[in-house]
A and B are shown apart, each in its own frame.
Chain A
Amino acid sequence: MSDIYTETLNKLIEEFAKLPGIGPKTAERLAFHILNVDSASAMALAQAINDVKTKIHSCKICYNFSEETVCNICSDSRRDQSIICVVEHPRDIISLEKTGSCKWVYHVLGGHIAPLEEIEPSDLTIDQLIERVRKDSISEIVMATNPNIAGDGTALYISSLLRPMGVKITRLARGLPSGSTIEYSSDKILTEAILGRQQIE
């Protein structure tokens, strides 16, 4: 804590510096900005922070962020409720929805299984997903966990639980990104693309 600032200003700088990507210098700049703006603008920011912490909670069906008991996606009757896309975090839903090609509903796991870091299946919402598949008439589960070792492991574990229930399980495709060139692709990406090659219709 610096002696040149007042106690409250120091506190504000410290709080800003805790945010991701914010260093001490930027925290200082933001704190002075708050100090200089009119009271209404500063209070609007404080109110917005208060609102997201008090009004936003998990959707009781899919565990996405929601201000109602059931989120907008789960309550949308135009969506195909028989297809569930399983994601690790609510921010993954935002990325998928931006594509405009998803007409399904979601299930947010809340992370991935990492046994070596002691994150076990019981720490995620896997039991709730199984219960959902058992209760509702689900035709397909789209595994959209991250395309890395931990994401694959999580998808494998969930698939092992869902397979006996006779539901179709799919995984998002992986490999060469559109617009890229083979020459500049890494061995890892090319291997994925070769293994996941598709028949041309």
Chain B
Amino acid sequence: MLTKDTAICIRCVDYSETSQIVTFFARQSGKISAIAKGSKRAKSSFEGAIEIFSFGDIMFHASQEDKLSTLTEFQQKSGLSGLSRNYLCYNSSLFACELVTNLVDEHDPHPQLFDDFVQFLKDVQTAASQNETISLLIYFQLSLLREIGLQPVLNECANCKNKYDQKWFDVYFSNSANGIICKDCDMSFPDKAKITRQAAYCLANLKNIPKANEQTLNQVERIIINLLASHMQKMPKMAKYILGK
């Protein structure tokens, strides 16, 4: 069946001298893998080789779930050409791709996540500072966790449901609890880690993230990366490029 969709390329590998196997995150079809025959030929119908972040309208022959689809058309749109003009922006975008590749199942559509992903890539190109880039990345990561059903509990204790209060002196974060933990519950979660009050405040009040200082932002990002790693059961490859910026 021929399917038309809007999609962004999140992974591509060479299959032969002229063909590629591409993974798209499509708005209506979810994550799909397809073979793009002849895509590397100068006169291909895909406007040249497809690369990561290539975005546009695709047409493909959908296959059964465990087989590759065949890409028949790809009309690329401009708008994401600024991703490789800044090293942190480039690494953040690759990180977002890695997370979508690893945490979204094939053929599982997430239109809202797709829109958030494209918006993140558009916004991160024009980010004026490192802090703004990291803030945008944090928002995208939280949006991804929400859309795949793993939204962390950030405004109350994930165990006793006690509402977060700025007066909490000790605040912890536990990956197994999937959220913040108050002092009364910390003994139940051996994997807990103490977080600063500023980081806890940012997590509980997400709209304050852009106003946070660099140190707090880095801690918030570190907490989310550790949470993502626990869901992926491995540390994301791009994590060290973001944490060691």
The one of B53, B78, B85, B98 in contact with A191, judged by C-beta atoms closer than 8 angstroms, is B78
| A166 within 8 A of partner (CB) | no
Contact indicator B241/A116 (Cβ below 8 Å): no
Inter-chain contact B17/A148, CB cutoff 8 Å: no
CB distance from B236 to the nearest CB of A (A): 10
Q: Does residue B83 face the partner (Cβ distance < 8 Å to A)?
A: yes
Complex contact B90–A186 (CB within 8 A):
no
Question: Shortest distance in angstroms between B138's beta carbon and chain A's nearest beta carbon?
Answer: 20
B-facing residues in A175-201 (Cβ within 8 Å): 186-188, 190-192, 195
A130 contact set on B, CB distance < 8 A: none
* Residues in B neighbouring A116, C-beta threshold 8 A: 11, 52, 94, 97-98, 237-238
Q: How far is B86's CA from A118's CA once the two chains are assembled, in angstroms?
A: 20
Could you tell me if A191 and B81 are in contact, using CB atoms closer than 8 angstroms? yes
Does the CB pair A188–B237 fall under 8 Å? no
Taking a contact as CB atoms under 8 Å apart, the answer to whether A157 and B78 are in contact is no
Contact flag A156-B90 (CB < 8 Å), given A116-B237, A148-B49, A188-B47: yes
Kindly state the separation between the CA atoms of A143 and B91 in the bound complex, as whole angstroms: 19
Asked if A153 lies at the interface with its beta carbon under 8 angstroms from chain B, I say yes
Q: Which residue of B lies closest to A152 (CB)?
A: B84
Per-residue interface assignment for chain B, residues 27 to 67, with 1 indicating a CB less than 8 Å from any chain A CB and 0 otherwise: 00000000000000000000111011100000000000000
A122 is an interface residue with CB less than 8 A from chain B: no
In the bound complex, residues from chain B placing their C-beta under 8 Å from that of A190 are 78
**Cβ of A4 under 8 Å from chain B:** no
For the complex, give the distance between the alpha carbons of A20 and B17 in Å: 8
B49 — which chain A residues lie within 8 A by C-beta?
148
Please, which residue of chain A has its CB at the minimum distance from the CB of B54?
A188
CA distance A160 to B91 in the complex (A): 13
Are B47 and A186 in contact (CB-based, < 8 A)?
Answer: yes
B76 within 8 A of A: yes
Q: How far is B76's CA from A41's CA once the two chains are assembled, in angstroms?
A: 50
**Is A52 in the interface zone, CB < 8 Å from B?**
no
Contact: A115 with B94, CB < 8 Å?
yes
Task: Say yes or no for B183: interface residue by CB 8 A criterion.
Answer: no
Mostly, the A contact residues are helix
Shortest beta-carbon distance, B82 to chain A, in Å? Answer: 8
Q: Does A1 contact B (CB under 8 A)?
A: no
Q: Which A residues are CB-close (under 8 A) to B168?
A: none
Residues in B with CB closer than 8 Å to A187 are 76-78
Report Cα–Cα, A148/B40, bound state, in Å: 13
Chain A min CB distance to B105 (Å):
19
Are B81 and A115 in contact, with the CB atoms below 8 A? no
Q: Cβ of A149 and Cβ of B84 under 8 Å apart? A: yes
Residues of A near B241 (CB, < 8 A) are 115
Q: Note all chain B residues with C-beta closer than 8 A to A100.
A: none
A160-B97 contact given A149-B51, A187-B76, CB 8 Å threshold: no
* Distance of A102 from chain B, by nearest CB (Å): 23
- Closest CB-CB distance, A169 to chain B, in whole Å? 13
List the A residue with the shortest CB-CB distance to B11: A116
Q: Shortest distance in angstroms between B78's beta carbon and chain A's nearest beta carbon?
A: 4
Q: Is the CB of A156 within 8 A of B11?
A: no
Note all chain B residues with C-beta closer than 8 A to A118: 237
The answer to whether B81 touches A21 (Cβ under 8 A) is no
Quote the shortest CB–CB distance from B46 to chain A (angstroms).
10
B87 CB within 8 Å of chain A = yes
Question: C-beta contact mask, A136-174 vs B, less than 8 Å → 1, else 0?
Answer: 000000000000111011001100100000000000000
In the complex, 7 of the A-B residue pairs with CB atoms within 8 angstroms, ordered by the A residue number, are A148-B49, A153-B84, A156-B84, A157-B87, A187-B77, A188-B78, A191-B81
Residues on A facing B (Cβ under 8 Å)? 20-21, 115-116, 118, 148-150, 152-153, 156-157, 160, 186-188, 190-192, 195
Beyond A149-B52, A156-B84, A156-B87, 14 extra complex contacts between A and B, CB < 8 Å: A21-B17, A115-B237, A116-B97, A148-B51, A149-B83, A149-B90, A152-B85, A153-B90, A153-B91, A153-B94, A160-B87, A186-B48, A188-B47, A191-B78
